[in-house]
Structure 1
Amino acid sequence: MKMKRRLNLLVALAAVPLFLVTHDGWAQDWTAKAQEALGKAMAEVAIPKGDPRLLVLTNAGFGQIGSYTTEAFSDIAGKETGCSRGARSLLPVHTSVQEPLWCALYRKDSGKMVFFKWTGDGFGQQVIDASPEKILSPEGWKATSAGLVGKNLFSVVSISLTWAVNPPWPLLLASTFHDHFCPGLNAGYIFAEYLMDRLPLGPGEQYVTVTAPGKCPADALQVLFNTTGGKGGGYVMAIGNDLLTKYSKGSVQPSIVAMKVNRKSDACEGMILGFDWDKVMADTGIKPEHLFSKEGPSDPWFWISRVKASAELAKMPREKLLGYAVELKRFSGKAGLADKVASGDPYGVVWNQ
């Protein structure tokens, strides 16, 4: 009996190294394929390593290859392209872990982009003309999105074209978390700048924000202020159009309740902010029938208008941007007021206190 147990143990131990070699070998196989795909992409964009005209976008570290995580690709991309996070030229784009690894190389001066993605047993590639005059047309958008890039077109094009105008780093960082640029994200960045200017924090104070309806500004606020739901600093909630109309000022609907809270001194001071979309559209040349297309995402103009608006807003000076934030109401109370605002109809709590 003892001899049989020993034999079984030896067989089991012998199988372990074989499994490990197979496991590691497969992992090395995908990294080799990734390096090869990256080399082909670099040859296609035809630009030297580390050139400031080059941007690399990837969901490495988020997207996976089968059961393998892909954080190692970030180092591969940096080594092969000469780009880096510190140079603002290698940006990680947040996606679901259920999405496969992808990467996009964008050459700013020509607009040439190469997108490649894991397809199951290797990497597929698509060459894209991302120059504004080509990609920001309904025909160009439709034709390109029908390829391998698919739904990721909005992510890689909106971030690339806005990166090209040299946006502020916190705004660029927010876009990588949000996985794209859109004017709603710009609005969140503008709200953050407005709060730091008009409602600055003092010792022992923190921002608490409630975004209602839950839209894109919430992600920018989370990145800039670290106001997350898990830490009790950021909340989002649905709210009906009838209530939004009730609390509107002209055409400006409320977008967020922003508060600075001091638990120690039991104080809360805040404001309700809206975003002047009419003014934004007038200043950026975006048509309302495009930005708010009745066809929604099926209309290429829905996406194109968002790319254009984000890039235009990213170029504007701070003082002009602050003019798009509209104060609808100021208020103050005890610290517990912030908890009440975050627990129901946030605007009604303020107006009816």
Structure 2
Amino acid sequence: MIGRRGCTNKKIKTKITSFVFLTVLVFSLCFIPGMAAETDSSELMAQVFAAAESNLGNIGPENTLIITDLGSPAESYVFLDNFYSEFNGRNLKYTDNLLVVQNARNAPLWFAFFDKASGKCAYIEVTYGDEEKISYQVTENINFNGLSKNKKSIEAWNQKVNSAVFKGHEFAILTISNAWATGNLDYELMQCLEIHNHFCPGVSSGFVLANWMEENYPLKEGVSYTVFSCPNWCKEDVFVKRWDATPGKGGIFVSALTDEEIEAIGNSPAGIFVVTDKNAGTMKAVALGFDFDVVNAKCGAKKDDPAWISKYLADLWLMDRGNWDEEGLVTEIAVIDIDKDTLGEMKRAGSNPYEVLGLLNSNGNVNPPVEDKELMDQVFSAAEAELGTLGPENTFIMTDIGSPAESDFFLRNS
């Protein structure tokens, strides 16, 4: 009997110990960052949508655009499932009603709910971690026509921009929302805005250039682009998104030009696109220019307009594919056959790709491309400009014409 009682006591002690251990473990998990977030994430997303609806009315697929950086701020991924539960529960569509923009890991988590019918936008920021709550919210009417109607309305919105009413995202939210409301914002352009996280003429110009390249040098199987985006501006993010031309995979090289170099090259240089066709065994360097003066002259912006007006009007003009053939907008500066060694030299640190291609010399002067039939005339004219008239009595010419590949083409013009 004593032995049986001892065994029974041991079992009871073991159960008590296990219960105490599990209790401590449960309470401990509540204090682990992330575990608490997952527990309450459904409530926070429900609160965000409820706050938006309290200011905008019902959120539905016809009139709603949601812009958010969800997933970029640290550990905000814990809210993804519950966000999409709220999103799908209102019959919203990913391609029609949502733009998820990239942001820094240390950025706040924010949401902008735009209602096309009223022009109102509810901006909401949340905090999460130790405490999950809506930390900031405001609703403003951002209808572009209303804000830009007269000096008074313009100044009123300028003041709100200066006070960062949307925590610094005023330009991004205004331009994206109003462009989306037109019904003419190409979804493929919206995809580029995901990585660029705002809408400006710089990214629009990249979209035009990308489409020009694809139309004139189609991306067939076995064809790829290597981009030398020089000079650089916002356009690079389009090439990264559209062509997977990431720096890590050697798809894009970005560098600046001096004002003197830009002037010397002429035609507002935008970059050099190397087209490699593995099927044909060819490699062509296509130098393109993009002239913003054409955009500014045509888009309707005034000289004294604030940036949010002039840039949005430029974006609207560039959204219209019918304007892409405007004379001087995109210029083909040169098309040059190159080889792997030349491409390697263009990639080398410190190299100016325009110099490598002979479109600019080391002194910053341009070596202008010309039609083949004009090249020999220019060669002789350049010599006569330095030497005077070339005649049979005093002139001797040395050249390797005929030896370089396909240079025999110029013999009939020499």
Range class of TM-score, shorter chain: 0.7 to 0.9
Mapped partners of 1:247, 1:69: distance in 2? 51
Contact 2:271–2:287 under 8 Å retained in 1: yes
1:276 maps to what in 2?
291
| TM-aligned CA deviation for residue 138 of structure 1 | 4.0
1:79–1:247 Cα change, 3 Å? same
Q: Name which of structure 1's ranges 328-337 and 18-27 shifts more when overlaid on structure 2.
A: 18-27
Contact 2:287–2:335 under 8 Å retained in 1: yes
- Structure 2, unaligned runs of 5 or more: 1-13, 149-153, 361-414
2:99 maps to what in 1?
91
Describe the superposition over 1:204-249 as per-residue Cα deviations: whole angstroms up to 9, x where unpaired: 2211111112211111111111111111111211222221121113
Question: Which residue identity lines up with residue 45 of structure 1 in the other structure?
Answer: L
TM-score by length of 2: 0.72
1:304–1:274 Cα change, 3 Å? same
Question: Which residue identity lines up with residue 36 of structure 1 in the other structure?
Answer: Q
Mapped partners of 2:326, 2:113: distance in 1? 30
2:116 maps to what in 1?
108
Q: 1:130 aligns with which of 142, 147, 153?
A: 142
Question: Which residue identity lines up with residue 38 of structure 2 in the other structure?
Answer: A
1:21–1:146 Cα change, 3 Å? same
Question: Which residue identity lines up with residue 346 of structure 2 in the other structure?
Answer: V
1:168 maps to what in 2?
186
1:32 maps to what in 2?
43
1:295 maps to what in 2?
none
Contact 2:230–2:254 under 8 Å retained in 1: yes
Mapped partners of 2:326, 2:247: distance in 1? 27
Q: 2:354 aligns with which of 333, 347, 352?
A: 347
The 3-state SS of whatever aligns with 1:151 is coil
Question: Which residue identity lines up with residue 125 of structure 1 in the other structure?
Answer: Q
- Structure 1, unaligned runs of 5 or more: 1-5, 291-300
| TM-aligned CA deviation for residue 48 of structure 1 | 4.5
Mapped partners of 1:279, 1:103: distance in 2? 35
Q: Name which of structure 1's ranges 265-274 and 212-221 shifts more when overlaid on structure 2.
A: 265-274
| TM-aligned CA deviation for residue 13 of structure 1 | 6.8
- The alignment status of 1:245 with 2:263, answered yes or no, reads yes
1:117 maps to what in 2?
125
Q: Which has the higher contact order (CA 8 A, sep 6+)?
A: 1
Mapped partners of 2:296, 2:163: distance in 1? 29
The 3-state SS of whatever aligns with 1:57 is strand
- The alignment status of 1:62 with 2:72, answered yes or no, reads yes
Aligned Cα root-mean-square deviation (Å): 2.9
Mapped partners of 2:28, 2:92: distance in 1? 36
Q: Would you say how many aligned residue pairs link Structure 1 and Structure 2? A: 332
2:343 maps to what in 1?
338
1:200–1:264 Cα change, 3 Å? closer
TM-score by length of 1: 0.84
Describe the superposition over 1:296-320 as per-residue Cα deviations: whole angstroms up to 9, x where unpaired: xxxxx12332122112321343753
- The alignment status of 1:196 with 2:218, answered yes or no, reads no
* Aligned sequence identity (%): 22
| TM-aligned CA deviation for residue 273 of structure 1 | 1.0
